[in-house]
Amino acid sequence: MATTLRRPTTRLPALPWDRIIPWVVPAALILLWQLLAQVGVINSRILPAPTDVVQAAIRLTLSGELLKHVGISTWRAVVGFLIGGNIGLFFGVLNGVSRPAELLADSSIQMIRNIPHLAMIPLVILWFGIGDEARIFLVALGVLFPIYVNTFYGIRAIDPGLIEMGRVYGLSRRQLFSQVILPGALPSILVGLRYALGNMWLTLIVAETIAASSGIGYMAMNAREFMQTDVVVVAILLYALLGKLADSAVRWLEKLTIAWHPSQNLT
Amino acid sequence: MTYTQTSYPQTQFTTASGTHVWLNGVTKAFGDLTVLDNLSLEIFPGEFVAVVGKSGCGKSTLLRLLAGLETPTRGEIALDGQCLKGLNAKARVMFQDSRLLPWRKVIQNVALGLKEQARPRSHWALQQVGLDSRAKDWTTVLSGGQKQRVALARALVTQPHLLLLDEPLGALDALTRIDMQRLIETLWQEQQFTALLVTHDVEEAVMLSDRVIVVQNGRIDLDLPINLPRPRHVGSPGLTELKQQILRQILQN
Protein backbone atom coordinates (compact mmCIF):
# COMPACT_ATOMS: atom_id res chain seq x y z
CA MET A 1 0.00 0.00 0.00
CA ALA A 2 2.67 2.43 1.06
CA THR A 3 4.64 2.03 -2.12
CA THR A 4 1.78 3.24 -4.26
CA LEU A 5 1.68 6.48 -2.28
CA ARG A 6 5.31 7.24 -2.89
CA ARG A 7 5.79 10.24 -5.06
CA PRO A 8 8.47 10.23 -7.75
CA THR A 9 11.45 12.02 -6.19
CA THR A 10 12.23 15.26 -7.93
CA ARG A 11 15.97 15.43 -7.91
CA LEU A 12 17.44 18.93 -7.97
CA PRO A 13 20.38 19.40 -10.29
CA ALA A 14 23.69 19.84 -8.48
CA LEU A 15 23.89 23.63 -8.24
CA PRO A 16 25.27 25.72 -5.37
CA TRP A 17 21.77 26.25 -3.95
CA ASP A 18 23.08 27.79 -0.76
CA ARG A 19 24.35 30.67 -2.82
CA ILE A 20 21.38 30.97 -5.12
CA ILE A 21 18.51 30.81 -2.64
CA PRO A 22 19.30 34.08 -0.79
CA TRP A 23 18.91 35.92 -4.13
CA VAL A 24 15.49 34.48 -4.97
CA VAL A 25 13.46 36.98 -2.93
CA PRO A 26 15.31 40.14 -4.09
CA ALA A 27 15.17 39.00 -7.70
CA ALA A 28 11.44 38.30 -7.43
CA LEU A 29 10.82 41.73 -5.90
CA ILE A 30 12.72 43.50 -8.69
CA LEU A 31 10.79 41.51 -11.25
CA LEU A 32 7.52 42.48 -9.60
CA TRP A 33 8.60 46.11 -9.46
CA GLN A 34 9.46 46.08 -13.18
CA LEU A 35 6.13 44.48 -14.00
CA LEU A 36 4.06 46.91 -11.92
CA ALA A 37 5.92 49.90 -13.37
CA GLN A 38 5.43 48.74 -16.94
CA VAL A 39 1.76 48.06 -16.49
CA GLY A 40 1.41 51.50 -14.95
CA VAL A 41 0.38 50.57 -11.44
CA ILE A 42 3.39 52.45 -10.06
CA ASN A 43 3.74 56.01 -11.34
CA SER A 44 7.25 56.49 -12.73
CA ARG A 45 7.45 59.78 -10.82
CA ILE A 46 7.02 57.85 -7.61
CA LEU A 47 9.25 54.93 -8.53
CA PRO A 48 10.68 54.46 -12.03
CA ALA A 49 11.09 50.95 -13.41
CA PRO A 50 14.41 49.16 -12.69
CA THR A 51 15.30 49.38 -16.37
CA ASP A 52 14.87 53.18 -16.25
CA VAL A 53 17.14 53.33 -13.22
CA VAL A 54 19.77 51.31 -15.05
CA GLN A 55 19.45 53.58 -18.05
CA ALA A 56 19.87 56.64 -15.84
CA ALA A 57 22.97 55.10 -14.28
CA ILE A 58 24.43 54.40 -17.73
CA ARG A 59 23.60 57.93 -18.90
CA LEU A 60 25.23 59.50 -15.85
CA THR A 61 28.29 57.28 -16.17
CA LEU A 62 28.79 58.13 -19.85
CA SER A 63 28.51 61.85 -19.18
CA GLY A 64 31.17 61.55 -16.48
CA GLU A 65 28.84 63.15 -13.95
CA LEU A 66 28.49 60.01 -11.86
CA LEU A 67 32.22 59.49 -11.46
CA LYS A 68 32.74 63.12 -10.51
CA HIS A 69 30.12 62.99 -7.76
CA VAL A 70 31.21 59.60 -6.48
CA GLY A 71 34.80 60.81 -6.47
CA ILE A 72 34.11 63.93 -4.43
CA SER A 73 31.87 62.03 -1.98
CA THR A 74 34.48 59.33 -1.49
CA TRP A 75 37.17 61.95 -0.94
CA ARG A 76 35.09 63.65 1.77
CA ALA A 77 34.32 60.32 3.37
CA VAL A 78 37.95 59.21 3.41
CA VAL A 79 39.35 62.49 4.74
CA GLY A 80 36.70 62.75 7.45
CA PHE A 81 37.18 59.10 8.34
CA LEU A 82 40.95 59.43 8.63
CA ILE A 83 40.73 62.49 10.86
CA GLY A 84 37.96 61.16 13.11
CA GLY A 85 39.28 57.61 13.14
CA ASN A 86 42.76 58.64 14.18
CA ILE A 87 41.51 60.92 16.94
CA GLY A 88 39.21 58.16 18.22
CA LEU A 89 41.98 55.56 18.09
CA PHE A 90 44.43 57.87 19.81
CA PHE A 91 42.14 58.68 22.74
CA GLY A 92 40.86 55.10 22.90
CA VAL A 93 44.40 53.78 23.29
CA LEU A 94 45.48 56.55 25.63
CA ASN A 95 42.52 56.21 27.98
CA GLY A 96 42.64 52.43 27.65
CA VAL A 97 46.17 52.09 28.94
CA SER A 98 46.33 55.07 31.31
CA ARG A 99 44.04 55.43 34.28
CA PRO A 100 44.85 59.14 34.85
CA ALA A 101 44.10 59.92 31.20
CA GLU A 102 40.81 58.06 31.52
CA LEU A 103 39.87 60.04 34.63
CA LEU A 104 40.71 63.28 32.90
CA ALA A 105 39.16 62.74 29.49
CA ASP A 106 36.68 59.87 29.42
CA SER A 107 33.64 61.51 31.00
CA SER A 108 34.05 64.60 28.81
CA ILE A 109 34.24 62.43 25.70
CA GLN A 110 31.17 60.48 26.83
CA MET A 111 29.26 63.76 27.26
CA ILE A 112 30.11 64.93 23.76
CA ARG A 113 29.34 61.47 22.42
CA ASN A 114 25.79 61.74 23.66
CA ILE A 115 25.06 64.77 21.48
CA PRO A 116 23.64 63.46 18.19
CA HIS A 117 26.29 64.76 15.83
CA LEU A 118 23.75 65.60 13.14
CA ALA A 119 22.09 67.99 15.59
CA MET A 120 25.28 70.03 15.26
CA ILE A 121 24.60 70.84 11.59
CA PRO A 122 23.29 74.40 12.14
CA LEU A 123 26.23 75.20 14.38
CA VAL A 124 28.69 73.57 12.01
CA ILE A 125 27.35 75.64 9.12
CA LEU A 126 27.80 78.76 11.23
CA TRP A 127 31.37 77.75 12.00
CA PHE A 128 32.56 76.48 8.64
CA GLY A 129 30.01 77.81 6.16
CA ILE A 130 28.79 75.30 3.62
CA GLY A 131 32.20 74.24 2.30
CA ASP A 132 33.82 70.84 2.50
CA GLU A 133 35.24 71.62 5.93
CA ALA A 134 31.75 71.44 7.42
CA ARG A 135 31.03 68.04 5.88
CA ILE A 136 34.43 66.64 6.76
CA PHE A 137 34.00 67.87 10.32
CA LEU A 138 30.65 66.13 10.62
CA VAL A 139 31.98 62.87 9.16
CA ALA A 140 34.97 62.99 11.52
CA LEU A 141 32.63 63.52 14.45
CA GLY A 142 30.44 60.61 13.37
CA VAL A 143 33.43 58.28 13.00
CA LEU A 144 35.31 59.30 16.14
CA PHE A 145 33.06 57.88 18.84
CA PRO A 146 32.46 54.31 17.65
CA ILE A 147 36.22 53.92 17.18
CA TYR A 148 36.95 55.51 20.55
CA VAL A 149 34.47 53.46 22.56
CA ASN A 150 35.43 50.12 21.01
CA THR A 151 39.16 50.74 21.25
CA PHE A 152 38.84 51.77 24.88
CA TYR A 153 36.74 48.79 25.92
CA GLY A 154 38.76 46.43 23.73
CA ILE A 155 41.89 47.34 25.67
CA ARG A 156 40.16 47.18 29.02
CA ALA A 157 38.69 43.77 28.28
CA ILE A 158 42.09 42.11 27.78
CA ASP A 159 42.75 39.30 30.24
CA PRO A 160 45.02 40.79 32.94
CA GLY A 161 46.64 37.36 33.21
CA LEU A 162 48.07 37.77 29.71
CA ILE A 163 49.55 41.15 30.59
CA GLU A 164 51.07 39.70 33.76
CA MET A 165 52.46 36.81 31.75
CA GLY A 166 54.00 39.27 29.27
CA ARG A 167 55.73 41.09 32.11
CA VAL A 168 57.10 37.89 33.65
CA TYR A 169 58.40 36.85 30.26
CA GLY A 170 60.43 39.99 30.00
CA LEU A 171 58.47 42.05 27.49
CA SER A 172 59.24 45.76 27.51
CA ARG A 173 56.36 48.23 27.78
CA ARG A 174 56.47 48.78 24.05
CA GLN A 175 56.50 45.05 23.30
CA LEU A 176 53.68 44.54 25.78
CA PHE A 177 51.63 47.08 23.88
CA SER A 178 52.39 45.84 20.37
CA GLN A 179 52.34 42.10 21.13
CA VAL A 180 49.67 41.76 23.79
CA ILE A 181 47.46 44.82 24.22
CA LEU A 182 46.94 45.90 20.62
CA PRO A 183 46.33 42.42 19.14
CA GLY A 184 44.01 41.66 22.04
CA ALA A 185 41.98 44.80 21.42
CA LEU A 186 41.93 44.42 17.65
CA PRO A 187 38.69 42.41 17.30
CA SER A 188 36.87 45.09 19.28
CA ILE A 189 38.55 47.89 17.32
CA LEU A 190 37.37 46.30 14.08
CA VAL A 191 33.80 46.18 15.39
CA GLY A 192 34.19 49.91 16.05
CA LEU A 193 35.50 50.35 12.53
CA ARG A 194 32.35 48.75 11.12
CA TYR A 195 30.07 51.03 13.09
CA ALA A 196 32.24 53.98 12.12
CA LEU A 197 31.95 53.22 8.42
CA GLY A 198 28.18 53.00 8.72
CA ASN A 199 28.14 56.35 10.49
CA MET A 200 30.48 57.77 7.88
CA TRP A 201 28.08 57.22 4.96
CA LEU A 202 25.03 58.24 6.98
CA THR A 203 26.64 61.52 8.01
CA LEU A 204 27.81 62.22 4.52
CA ILE A 205 24.37 61.63 3.00
CA VAL A 206 22.74 64.07 5.39
CA ALA A 207 25.53 66.63 5.08
CA GLU A 208 25.49 66.49 1.29
CA THR A 209 21.75 66.79 0.96
CA ILE A 210 21.59 69.87 3.19
CA ALA A 211 24.31 72.04 1.79
CA ALA A 212 26.50 71.01 -1.11
CA SER A 213 27.20 71.77 -4.73
CA SER A 214 28.68 68.40 -5.58
CA GLY A 215 28.67 64.81 -4.37
CA ILE A 216 26.14 62.00 -4.50
CA GLY A 217 23.80 63.70 -2.04
CA TYR A 218 23.84 66.87 -4.12
CA MET A 219 23.13 64.84 -7.25
CA ALA A 220 20.07 63.32 -5.57
CA MET A 221 18.75 66.66 -4.26
CA ASN A 222 19.36 68.32 -7.59
CA ALA A 223 17.51 65.54 -9.40
CA ARG A 224 14.60 65.96 -7.01
CA GLU A 225 14.26 69.60 -8.12
CA PHE A 226 13.77 68.39 -11.69
CA MET A 227 11.60 65.42 -10.69
CA GLN A 228 14.23 62.99 -12.02
CA THR A 229 13.19 60.15 -9.74
CA ASP A 230 15.42 57.71 -11.62
CA VAL A 231 18.54 59.71 -10.69
CA VAL A 232 17.41 59.88 -7.07
CA VAL A 233 17.12 56.08 -7.01
CA VAL A 234 20.56 55.78 -8.62
CA ALA A 235 22.00 57.94 -5.82
CA ILE A 236 20.36 55.82 -3.15
CA LEU A 237 21.64 52.62 -4.74
CA LEU A 238 25.11 54.16 -4.95
CA TYR A 239 25.13 54.78 -1.22
CA ALA A 240 24.07 51.19 -0.65
CA LEU A 241 26.85 49.94 -2.92
CA LEU A 242 29.52 52.10 -1.29
CA GLY A 243 28.37 51.04 2.15
CA LYS A 244 28.54 47.40 1.14
CA LEU A 245 32.04 47.93 -0.29
CA ALA A 246 33.23 49.50 2.96
CA ASP A 247 31.79 46.57 4.91
CA SER A 248 33.49 44.07 2.64
CA ALA A 249 36.76 45.91 3.14
CA VAL A 250 36.45 45.46 6.91
CA ARG A 251 35.63 41.78 6.49
CA TRP A 252 38.73 41.38 4.38
CA LEU A 253 40.73 43.22 7.03
CA GLU A 254 39.33 40.89 9.69
CA LYS A 255 40.33 37.82 7.70
CA LEU A 256 43.79 39.29 7.39
CA THR A 257 44.39 40.40 10.95
CA ILE A 258 42.24 38.38 13.33
CA ALA A 259 42.10 34.98 11.68
CA TRP A 260 42.64 33.50 15.15
CA HIS A 261 39.43 34.96 16.56
CA PRO A 262 36.39 32.68 17.12
CA SER A 263 34.31 35.08 15.00
CA GLN A 264 36.38 34.06 11.99
CA ASN A 265 35.18 30.43 12.01
CA LEU A 266 38.53 28.97 12.68
CA THR A 267 39.03 25.41 11.53
CA MET B 1 60.30 25.19 7.45
CA THR B 2 63.27 22.88 7.47
CA TYR B 3 63.69 23.29 11.20
CA THR B 4 60.70 21.10 12.00
CA GLN B 5 62.60 18.02 10.86
CA THR B 6 65.91 18.91 12.44
CA SER B 7 66.91 17.56 15.81
CA TYR B 8 69.06 19.82 17.95
CA PRO B 9 71.90 18.44 20.01
CA GLN B 10 71.20 18.75 23.71
CA THR B 11 74.47 20.53 24.36
CA GLN B 12 73.66 23.39 22.02
CA PHE B 13 71.30 25.07 24.45
CA THR B 14 71.53 23.20 27.71
CA THR B 15 73.88 25.36 29.68
CA ALA B 16 71.44 26.20 32.43
CA SER B 17 72.05 25.45 36.04
CA GLY B 18 69.90 26.16 39.04
CA THR B 19 69.50 29.32 41.02
CA HIS B 20 70.18 29.43 44.72
CA VAL B 21 67.12 30.89 46.46
CA TRP B 22 67.21 32.39 49.90
CA LEU B 23 64.32 34.00 51.76
CA ASN B 24 65.05 35.67 55.06
CA GLY B 25 62.23 36.70 57.38
CA VAL B 26 59.87 37.47 54.53
CA THR B 27 56.53 38.98 55.51
CA LYS B 28 53.86 39.91 53.02
CA ALA B 29 50.76 41.77 54.08
CA PHE B 30 47.87 43.12 52.02
CA GLY B 31 46.44 45.84 54.23
CA ASP B 32 45.63 44.22 57.56
CA LEU B 33 45.85 40.72 56.17
CA THR B 34 49.22 39.05 56.74
CA VAL B 35 49.62 36.36 54.09
CA LEU B 36 53.22 35.36 54.78
CA ASP B 37 54.56 35.76 58.27
CA ASN B 38 58.33 35.99 58.84
CA LEU B 39 59.06 33.12 56.49
CA SER B 40 62.61 31.89 55.91
CA LEU B 41 63.55 29.30 53.33
CA GLU B 42 66.61 28.19 51.43
CA ILE B 43 66.42 26.30 48.16
CA PHE B 44 69.62 24.86 46.73
CA PRO B 45 70.66 25.00 43.07
CA GLY B 46 68.92 22.32 41.05
CA GLU B 47 66.59 21.35 43.86
CA PHE B 48 62.93 20.55 43.20
CA VAL B 49 60.79 21.92 46.02
CA ALA B 50 57.04 21.54 46.28
CA VAL B 51 54.93 23.87 48.39
CA VAL B 52 51.59 22.52 49.55
CA GLY B 53 48.89 23.88 51.79
CA LYS B 54 45.24 24.73 51.97
CA SER B 55 43.97 27.40 49.64
CA GLY B 56 44.67 30.84 51.02
CA CYS B 57 47.68 29.67 53.04
CA GLY B 58 50.00 31.98 51.14
CA LYS B 59 51.71 29.46 48.88
CA SER B 60 50.82 31.32 45.69
CA THR B 61 51.98 34.59 47.23
CA LEU B 62 55.33 32.94 47.94
CA LEU B 63 55.64 32.08 44.26
CA ARG B 64 54.61 35.56 43.16
CA LEU B 65 57.23 37.05 45.47
CA LEU B 66 59.92 34.88 43.88
CA ALA B 67 58.74 35.92 40.40
CA GLY B 68 59.04 39.55 41.44
CA LEU B 69 55.33 40.14 40.82
CA GLU B 70 54.94 41.20 44.47
CA THR B 71 57.43 42.84 46.79
CA PRO B 72 57.82 41.68 50.39
CA THR B 73 56.50 43.96 53.10
CA ARG B 74 59.46 43.00 55.28
CA GLY B 75 62.44 40.72 54.89
CA GLU B 76 64.57 39.98 51.88
CA ILE B 77 64.83 37.60 48.97
CA ALA B 78 68.23 36.76 47.50
CA LEU B 79 68.91 34.84 44.31
CA ASP B 80 72.45 33.54 43.91
CA GLY B 81 73.42 35.99 46.62
CA GLN B 82 71.86 38.99 44.93
CA CYS B 83 68.91 40.81 46.40
CA LEU B 84 65.81 40.57 44.21
CA LYS B 85 64.54 43.91 42.99
CA GLY B 86 61.67 44.20 40.53
CA LEU B 87 60.81 41.36 38.16
CA ASN B 88 62.92 38.24 38.41
CA ALA B 89 64.70 37.91 35.08
CA LYS B 90 66.17 34.51 35.99
CA ALA B 91 62.80 32.94 36.63
CA ARG B 92 60.03 31.77 34.35
CA VAL B 93 56.52 31.11 35.58
CA MET B 94 54.12 28.46 34.38
CA PHE B 95 50.56 29.37 35.32
CA GLN B 96 47.56 27.18 35.96
CA ASP B 97 45.84 28.64 32.93
CA SER B 98 48.29 28.37 30.06
CA ARG B 99 48.08 32.09 29.22
CA LEU B 100 49.00 31.55 25.60
CA LEU B 101 48.36 34.45 23.24
CA PRO B 102 45.51 33.28 21.00
CA TRP B 103 46.57 35.64 18.19
CA ARG B 104 49.89 33.86 17.82
CA LYS B 105 50.72 30.47 16.40
CA VAL B 106 52.22 27.88 18.76
CA ILE B 107 55.79 28.59 17.69
CA GLN B 108 55.37 32.35 18.07
CA ASN B 109 54.01 31.82 21.57
CA VAL B 110 57.10 29.86 22.51
CA ALA B 111 59.33 32.51 20.94
CA LEU B 112 57.75 35.28 23.05
CA GLY B 113 60.37 37.79 24.09
CA LEU B 114 63.26 35.94 22.44
CA LYS B 115 65.72 38.15 20.64
CA GLU B 116 68.32 35.83 19.17
CA GLN B 117 67.91 32.49 17.45
CA ALA B 118 64.21 32.64 18.10
CA ARG B 119 63.27 29.98 15.56
CA PRO B 120 65.79 27.24 16.34
CA ARG B 121 65.39 27.76 20.08
CA SER B 122 61.59 27.61 19.88
CA HIS B 123 61.69 24.46 17.79
CA TRP B 124 64.10 22.95 20.26
CA ALA B 125 61.80 23.79 23.18
CA LEU B 126 58.79 22.38 21.34
CA GLN B 127 60.73 19.18 20.66
CA GLN B 128 61.42 18.90 24.37
CA VAL B 129 57.69 18.79 25.08
CA GLY B 130 56.95 16.68 22.00
CA LEU B 131 54.87 19.26 20.16
CA ASP B 132 57.13 20.43 17.36
CA SER B 133 54.69 19.03 14.81
CA ARG B 134 52.07 21.54 16.01
CA ALA B 135 54.40 24.55 15.67
CA LYS B 136 52.30 26.25 13.01
CA ASP B 137 48.89 25.63 14.58
CA TRP B 138 46.73 28.15 16.39
CA THR B 139 46.74 27.59 20.13
CA THR B 140 42.93 27.57 20.21
CA VAL B 141 42.78 24.17 18.50
CA LEU B 142 44.98 22.50 21.13
CA SER B 143 43.69 20.44 24.06
CA GLY B 144 44.21 21.60 27.64
CA GLY B 145 47.20 19.30 28.11
CA GLN B 146 48.78 20.40 24.85
CA LYS B 147 48.34 24.05 25.81
CA GLN B 148 50.17 23.42 29.07
CA ARG B 149 52.95 21.67 27.18
CA VAL B 150 53.30 24.71 24.94
CA ALA B 151 53.35 26.88 28.07
CA LEU B 152 56.10 24.63 29.45
CA ALA B 153 58.08 24.98 26.22
CA ARG B 154 57.67 28.76 26.44
CA ALA B 155 58.95 28.68 30.01
CA LEU B 156 61.96 26.51 29.13
CA VAL B 157 62.97 28.18 25.87
CA THR B 158 65.11 30.77 27.61
CA GLN B 159 66.84 28.09 29.71
CA PRO B 160 65.70 29.60 32.99
CA HIS B 161 67.67 28.99 36.15
CA LEU B 162 64.50 28.98 38.20
CA LEU B 163 61.18 27.55 37.13
CA LEU B 164 58.14 28.57 39.15
CA LEU B 165 55.15 26.29 38.66
CA ASP B 166 51.87 27.74 39.90
CA GLU B 167 49.53 24.73 40.03
CA PRO B 168 50.30 24.07 36.36
CA LEU B 169 48.48 20.75 36.25
CA GLY B 170 45.48 21.72 38.35
CA ALA B 171 43.11 22.01 35.40
CA LEU B 172 44.16 18.81 33.63
CA ASP B 173 42.52 15.40 33.68
CA ALA B 174 44.19 12.64 35.71
CA LEU B 175 45.85 10.82 32.79
CA THR B 176 47.19 13.95 31.14
CA ARG B 177 48.45 15.02 34.53
CA ILE B 178 50.57 11.88 34.93
CA ASP B 179 52.09 12.47 31.48
CA MET B 180 52.89 16.06 32.34
CA GLN B 181 54.43 15.10 35.68
CA ARG B 182 56.78 12.70 33.92
CA LEU B 183 57.63 15.35 31.33
CA ILE B 184 58.41 17.99 33.93
CA GLU B 185 60.54 15.54 35.90
CA THR B 186 62.51 14.48 32.83
CA LEU B 187 63.16 18.03 31.68
CA TRP B 188 64.16 19.06 35.20
CA GLN B 189 66.63 16.18 35.39
CA GLU B 190 68.11 17.10 32.01
CA GLN B 191 68.36 20.84 32.49
CA GLN B 192 69.02 21.01 36.23
CA PHE B 193 67.16 24.21 36.92
CA THR B 194 65.81 24.94 40.38
CA ALA B 195 62.10 24.25 40.50
CA LEU B 196 59.42 25.46 42.87
CA LEU B 197 56.05 23.79 42.46
CA VAL B 198 53.00 25.21 44.17
CA THR B 199 50.23 22.65 44.31
CA HIS B 200 47.29 21.47 46.36
CA ASP B 201 47.87 17.90 45.21
CA VAL B 202 50.01 16.23 47.88
CA GLU B 203 50.60 13.13 45.77
CA GLU B 204 51.94 15.26 42.93
CA ALA B 205 54.23 17.06 45.37
CA VAL B 206 55.66 13.76 46.67
CA MET B 207 55.98 12.34 43.14
CA LEU B 208 58.05 15.20 41.82
CA SER B 209 59.96 16.94 44.55
CA ASP B 210 63.13 16.53 46.59
CA ARG B 211 61.49 18.34 49.46
CA VAL B 212 57.90 19.12 50.38
CA ILE B 213 57.11 22.26 52.32
CA VAL B 214 53.77 22.64 54.05
CA VAL B 215 52.69 26.25 54.50
CA GLN B 216 50.09 26.96 57.15
CA ASN B 217 48.88 30.45 58.09
CA GLY B 218 51.80 32.09 56.33
CA ARG B 219 54.45 29.99 58.08
CA ILE B 220 56.37 26.85 57.21
CA ASP B 221 54.67 24.08 59.12
CA LEU B 222 56.65 21.14 57.81
CA ASP B 223 59.83 20.79 55.75
CA LEU B 224 60.10 17.19 54.67
CA PRO B 225 62.82 15.72 52.43
CA ILE B 226 61.59 13.09 49.98
CA ASN B 227 64.41 10.61 49.58
CA LEU B 228 62.62 8.18 47.29
CA PRO B 229 64.49 6.91 44.21
CA ARG B 230 63.32 8.18 40.83
CA PRO B 231 61.36 7.38 38.74
CA ARG B 232 58.68 7.16 41.41
CA HIS B 233 55.45 5.28 41.02
CA VAL B 234 52.01 6.20 42.23
CA GLY B 235 50.90 3.84 44.94
CA SER B 236 54.37 2.65 46.00
CA PRO B 237 54.44 2.11 49.79
CA GLY B 238 57.05 4.76 50.59
CA LEU B 239 55.24 7.39 48.56
CA THR B 240 51.88 6.59 50.13
CA GLU B 241 53.32 6.77 53.63
CA LEU B 242 54.85 10.21 53.02
CA LYS B 243 51.65 11.41 51.44
CA GLN B 244 49.67 10.33 54.51
CA GLN B 245 52.15 12.03 56.82
CA ILE B 246 51.88 15.33 54.93
CA LEU B 247 48.10 15.14 54.71
CA ARG B 248 47.83 14.53 58.46
CA GLN B 249 50.03 17.57 59.06
CA ILE B 250 47.87 19.77 56.83
CA LEU B 251 44.55 18.57 58.19
CA GLN B 252 45.37 18.62 61.90
CA ASN B 253 45.25 22.42 62.04
Distance CA A83, CA B154 (A): 41
Chain A, residues 109-138, CB within 8 A of chain B, namely: none
pTM of the model: 0.80
Whether the per-residue pLDDT at B235 is higher than 90: the answer is no
Is the distance from CB of B166 to CB of B94 less than 8 angstroms? Answer: yes
B232, B125, B69, B247: CA torsion to nearest 10: -10
Mutate: best of A158, A169, A188, partner B, most B CBs <10 A = A169
Q: DSSP string spanning chain B?
A: -GGGG----HHHH----PPPEEEEEEEEEETTEEEEEEEEEEE-TT-EEEEE-STTSSHHHHHHHHHTSS--SEEEEEETTEE--SS-TTEEEE-SS----TTSBHHHHHTTT--SSHHHHHHHHHHHTT-GGGTTSBGGGS-HHHHHHHHHHHHHTT--SEEEEESTTTTS-HHHHHHHHHHHHHHHHHH--EEEEEES-HHHHHHH-SEEEEEETTEEEEEEE--PPSSP-TT-HHHHHHHHHHHHHHHH-
Mutate: best of A159, A168, A175, A257, partner B, most B CBs <10 A = A168
Q: What is the pLDDT of residues A109-137, one digit of tens each?
A: 999 999 998 898 889 989 988 888 999 99
B93 and A166 within 8 Å at the Cβ level: the answer is no
Distance CA B200, CA A43 (A): 80
Q: Residue A7: what pLDDT? A: 61
Q: Which of B68, B89, B95 has the CB atom closest to A165's CB atom?
A: B95
Mutate: best of B70, B97, B99, partner A, most A CBs <10 A = B99
Q: Which of A169, A258, A262 has the CB atom closest to B113's CB atom?
A: A169
Q: What is the pLDDT of residues A37-60, one digit of tens each?
A: 888 888 888 889 999 999 999 999
**ipTM above 0.90?**
no
Q: Residue B18: what pLDDT? A: 87
Q: What is the SS3 string spanning B90-101?
A: CEEEECCCCCCC
Q: Which of B67, B99, B113 has the CB atom closest to A171's CB atom?
A: B113
Q: Residue B2: what pLDDT? A: 37
- The CA-atom distances, in angstroms, between A51 and each of A13, A41, A235 are 31, 16, 15
Long-range contacts of B114-117 (CB under 8 A, 24+ apart): B114/B157, B114/B158
